[in-house]
Chains A and B, each alone.
Chain A
Amino acid sequence: MNERRNSAILLAAGVLSAALLMLHPHGTLSLLPVLAVMAACLTAKASRWVQGVVLAGILVVAVPMAGIQNSFLFELGTQIGIYAALALGLNIVVGMAGLLDLGYAGFFGLGAYTWAIFGSPQANELLAGNHFPLAGWPYFYLFVVLAVMVAALTGVLIGLPALRLRGDYLAVVTLGLGQVVRLLANNLDHPLNITNGPQGISPIERPPIGWLTHGLDTLGIHVPPVLGYSIFFYFLVLAIAGAVVLISTRLDRSRFGRAWVAIREDEMAAQSVGISVIKAKVLAFATGAAFSGAMGAVFAAKQLFVSPDSFTFLQSITILVMVLLGGMGSIRGAILGAAAVTLLNIEILKNLSDSLNSLRQSGFVLDLGFLRYDFASIPSQLEPAKYERMIFGLIIVLMMIFRPSGLIPEQRHRLELEGKE
């Protein structure tokens, strides 16, 4: 009964918020209801069908319709989608299998460089002739697949030795390996120029999207190429993220999903009931790496530029914060966490910094007689956007102390982390 009522409310709220967004695509205030409804879809007890329909309706219909007038929505959606896929990948490794991987951004970088090197003139440094960049129809998509394979293979190669180690050692080894990827990207410009060093690689080719703009033209919608690419990447990322959600869900409910839980809870016991521990761990590691690699290649094409700065330790921790915030092992949680942290990063902190700046430039002087404060003297060091480490650190510590199972706890983890057995 309750569930039915919730479903009805959700559906109504979804339709209303979507209509509001399409009518007023530029207002921040019209974005809020849509975000709230999507968050509710992930958390509320309601019919799965309704949740799915509302989410799909907003993501496939409302956001693109509004986005044609306000392309920032595509940018936001694409960023959230990329991070959601990354968080889901890390969720398999950290959440489901209980392996703390602190070098996760390294796989992202591997995927990004896989396309960056061959999708730009950079590869001419390595191979004779002038065959690069690889532009044209199938190449980009082939390289997304290749990036998946490269990342997964690297995951297996690193995992086979590293996953024999117990949890906390694994954390340090993966942290070190993540650094090694960055250091290699930074230094492999000599003796042979593979990565172009700290300057990074640019410009990187994007796949041709004539078919998309033509298609939209026949529908009577004329979009300039820049907007065309925004639309293209939004839907590409949405499709990949959707596939990642599907794969995660299926894996979670598979034999391997149960093996991961067993290993996480008690490795020795898991081994003694016949679970091939190394195999299951390597599978988790490689799957997570594969998701990261795919998004890396997409990211390279989207940004037109990659450099070693795009996959630092901070990046790995950002993704970890998403998983922790949502709840380790929880698929809905990882998505919610990715959305929340991305919004925090590119919307909220930036806006707070902007308003602090305008406050400073307003020249307003607070004068209470006994207290006098000139707003122009607000130190620029206070800008919230500069303190993402502090904010992430605080989120981590507070979550671990007060709600270690996250915002949307996965049931089995809740038992384990909060001791309610």
Chain B
Amino acid sequence: MTLRPLRPAERPRPLGEALLQILPGVIIEGLLLGCVYAMIALGYSMVYGVLGLINFAHSEVFMIGAIAGAEVFRYGQPAAPNTFVLLAAAILVGGSVAGLVAVGIERLAYRPLRRRTSNRLVPLITAIGVSFFLQDLVRLIEGLWHNEFYLNYPSCTPIEHPVKLPLGTEVQVKAIIVIAVAMLMMIGLTLLVKRTRMGKAIRAVAHDAQTASLMGVNPDQVISRTFLLGGFLGGVAGVLFGIMFTQVNPFVGFVPGLKAFTAAVLGGIGSIPGAMVGGLVLGMIETVGGTYLPLFTNGAVGSEYTDILAFAVLVLLLLVRPQGLMGKASSDRA
């Protein structure tokens, strides 16, 4: 999304050398974006796993996390002893608020439908409605609270100090933080799903809800917890997104949400490692494409086409391999 423009002075040099020189920076940016996509994609994928529903409102869960994090910075900055403590608080609050909102959405909007209809379009359309409703609800709340709905994350603080990496690349501290937090969360989630009783219950419901309920698993409870987990990850992704791009608003969720869904499909929807891999791959494709397309076409095709690139990946993938990179082939999946 944010790309370093190549300065005109670098043009006369051999193209290959210029390309190589910016490569490490591009890879780190791709990794950053990929981490955020991966964390959002996990929410889509887990919910799809247990409910078979594309939770369109998940992009708003992400947005609410980002906004809640910004509020923590707004109120905490004068009082907090240290930016890093504040950052940790923002991540925790953003994740928790988003997780609770996700649980609330499931309880109020999706659960009544589950009892009543088996039609597949109805929950999907409901999810879109919830998504629209939340965008304006947050705008209304922020508007009444602060009389504006564009919120800023702090910049020029210790988290933006540059750090030298081995290959001569400079990155900001916050890039390292984002990648580290994302990695930790994803490892944590994997352990949770693989090793704990709760994780086993989630996997059982995803595999076959009816049989799981016969074995004494309460599917409603498991679904609630899945939303909580997915929402927490999405909210943390929102805070990380805010730290990277510094400005957030109630409509900030739409595009990353769509991209993250693409990532979830890319990896194989329903698969947790798939969502992570899909997110990282999509982040890389986007950043590399966005940087090198203008270079190779001499500026004719600019970085504004990265969004189209992501959708093209989605469409092609669904046509060629609808089960995704890591998904299982299944006749009714697509």
A residues within 8 Å of B by Cβ?
94, 98, 100, 102, 161-162, 164-169, 171-173, 175-177, 179-180, 183-184, 186-187, 190-191, 313, 317, 320, 324, 379, 381-382, 386-390, 392-397, 400-401, 404, 416-419
Tell me whether B189 is interfacial, beta carbon within 8 Å: no
Q: Using CB atoms, name the residue of chain A closest to B132.
A: A393
Question: Are B133 and A162 in touch, CB under 8 angstroms?
Answer: no
**Considering the complex of A and B, which 5 residue pairs feature the smallest CB-CB distances, nearest first?**
A396-B129, A393-B133, A381-B143, A390-B136, A393-B132
Complex: how many Å from CA A320 to CA B133?
15
Tell me whether B245 is interfacial, beta carbon within 8 Å: no
Question: Are A396 and B300 in touch, CB under 8 angstroms?
Answer: no
Residues of A within 8 A of B307 (CB): 179-180, 183
Q: Which of B128, B318, B322 contacts A317 (CB 8 A)?
A: B128
Question: Are A100 and B125 in touch, CB under 8 angstroms?
Answer: yes
Question: Are A397 and B130 in touch, CB under 8 angstroms?
Answer: yes
Residues of A within 8 A of B84 (CB): none
Most chain B beta-carbon neighbours within 10 Å: one of A94, A190, A397, A401: A397
Most chain A beta-carbon neighbours within 10 Å: one of B109, B121, B333: B121
Complex: how many Å from CA A27 to CA B125?
38
Question: Are B122 and A417 in touch, CB under 8 angstroms?
Answer: yes
B247 to chain A, nearest CB (A): 19
Complex: how many Å from CA A173 to CA B314?
8
Question: Are B133 and A171 in touch, CB under 8 angstroms?
Answer: no
Stretch at the interface among B7-15, B112-120, B171-179: B112-120
Tell me whether B282 is interfacial, beta carbon within 8 Å: no
Question: Are B133 and A166 in touch, CB under 8 angstroms?
Answer: no
Taking A172-B262, A173-B315 as given, write out 16 further A-B residue pairs in contact, using a Cβ cutoff of 8 Å, ordered by the A residue number: A102-B128, A161-B315, A167-B121, A169-B265, A169-B334, A171-B54, A172-B314, A176-B258, A176-B314, A179-B311, A317-B132, A393-B134, A396-B129, A397-B126, A400-B129, A417-B117
Complex: how many Å from CA A313 to CA B125?
14
Residues of B within 8 A of A394 (CB): 129, 133
Question: Are A396 and B136 in touch, CB under 8 angstroms?
Answer: no
Interface 1/0s, chain B 268-310, versus A by CB < 8 A?
Answer: 0000000000000000000000000000000010101101100
Residues of B within 8 A of A382 (CB): 140, 144
Q: Which of A168, A191, A404 contacts B54 (CB 8 A)?
A: A168
A171-B54, A175-B258, A324-B125 known; A187 vs B116 contact (CB < 8 Å): no
19 A–B contacts from the bound complex (CB under 8 Å): A102-B128, A161-B315, A172-B261, A173-B318, A175-B258, A179-B311, A184-B308, A187-B302, A191-B300, A381-B140, A381-B143, A382-B144, A387-B139, A390-B140, A394-B129, A400-B113, A404-B119, A417-B119, A418-B117
Residues of B within 8 A of A179 (CB): 258, 307, 311
Question: Are B116 and A419 in touch, CB under 8 angstroms?
Answer: yes
Complex: how many Å from CA A166 to CA B269?
13
Residues of A within 8 A of B157 (CB): none
Tell me whether B72 is interfacial, beta carbon within 8 Å: no
Q: Which of B128, B308, B332 contacts A166 (CB 8 A)?
A: B332
Most chain B beta-carbon neighbours within 10 Å: one of A168, A191, A390: A168
A177-B311, A177-B315 known; A381 vs B129 contact (CB < 8 Å): no
Residues of B within 8 A of A317 (CB): 128, 132
Complex: how many Å from CA A382 to CA B144?
8
Tell me whether B192 is interfacial, beta carbon within 8 Å: no
Residues of A within 8 A of B88 (CB): none
Residues of B within 8 A of A390 (CB): 132-133, 135-137, 140
B8 to chain A, nearest CB (A): 17
A402 to chain B, nearest CB (A): 9
Complex: how many Å from CA A130 to CA B318?
44
Tell me whether B147 is interfacial, beta carbon within 8 Å: yes
A309 to chain B, nearest CB (A): 14
Q: Using CB atoms, name the residue of chain A closest to B311.
A: A176
Residues of B within 8 A of A (CB-CB), count: 50
Complex: how many Å from CA A85 to CA B143?
36
Q: Using CB atoms, name the residue of chain B closest to A314.
A: B132
Residues of A within 8 A of B139 (CB): 386-387
A400-B122, A401-B113 known; A165 vs B132 contact (CB < 8 Å): no
Q: Using CB atoms, name the residue of chain B closest to A172.
A: B261
Residues of B within 8 A of A386 (CB): 136, 139
Complex: how many Å from CA A187 to CA B136?
28
Q: Using CB atoms, name the residue of chain B closest to A397.
A: B129
Residues of A within 8 A of B54 (CB): 168, 171-172
Question: Are A396 and B140 in touch, CB under 8 angstroms?
Answer: no
Q: Which of B27-77 contact A (CB under 8 A)?
A: 53-54
Q: Which of A191, A381, A396 contacts B144 (CB 8 A)?
A: A381
Tell me whether B124 is interfacial, beta carbon within 8 Å: yes
Tell me whether B319 is interfacial, beta carbon within 8 Å: yes
Question: Are B135 and A389 in touch, CB under 8 angstroms?
Answer: yes
Question: Are A393 and B116 in touch, CB under 8 angstroms?
Answer: no
Q: Using CB atoms, name the residue of chain B closest to A171.
A: B124
Q: Which of B131, B132, B315 contacts A176 (CB 8 A)?
A: B315
A166-B332, A390-B136 known; A400 vs B126 contact (CB < 8 Å): yes
Tell me whether B254 is interfacial, beta carbon within 8 Å: yes
Q: Which of B117, B133, B300 contacts A389 (CB 8 A)?
A: B133
Complex: how many Å from CA A381 to CA B142?
9
Q: Using CB atoms, name the residue of chain A closest to B135.
A: A389
Question: Are A166 and B109 in touch, CB under 8 angstroms?
Answer: no
Q: Using CB atoms, name the residue of chain B closest to A398.
A: B129
Residues of A within 8 A of B121 (CB): 94, 98, 100, 167
B256 to chain A, nearest CB (A): 13
Complex: how many Å from CA A7 to CA B334?
49
Complex: how many Å from CA A400 to CA B113?
8
Q: Which of A176, A313, A379 contacts B147 (CB 8 A)?
A: A379
Residues of B within 8 A of A393 (CB): 128-136
A168-B54, A393-B133 known; A180 vs B311 contact (CB < 8 Å): yes
A190-B300, A381-B140 known; A167 vs B133 contact (CB < 8 Å): no
Residues of B within 8 A of A164 (CB): 319, 334
Question: Are A396 and B318 in touch, CB under 8 angstroms?
Answer: no
Residues of A within 8 A of B53 (CB): 168
Q: Which of B124, B144, B308 contacts A379 (CB 8 A)?
A: B144
Complex: how many Å from CA A100 to CA B125?
9
A137 to chain B, nearest CB (A): 39
Question: Are A416 and B129 in touch, CB under 8 angstroms?
Answer: no
Complex: how many Å from CA A392 to CA B125?
12
Question: Are B132 and A396 in touch, CB under 8 angstroms?
Answer: yes
Residues of A within 8 A of B334 (CB): 164-166, 169
Complex: how many Å from CA A177 to CA B109?
27
Interface 1/0s, chain B 227-266, versus A by CB < 8 A?
Answer: 0000000000000000000000000001000100110010
Complex: how many Å from CA A180 to CA B124?
22
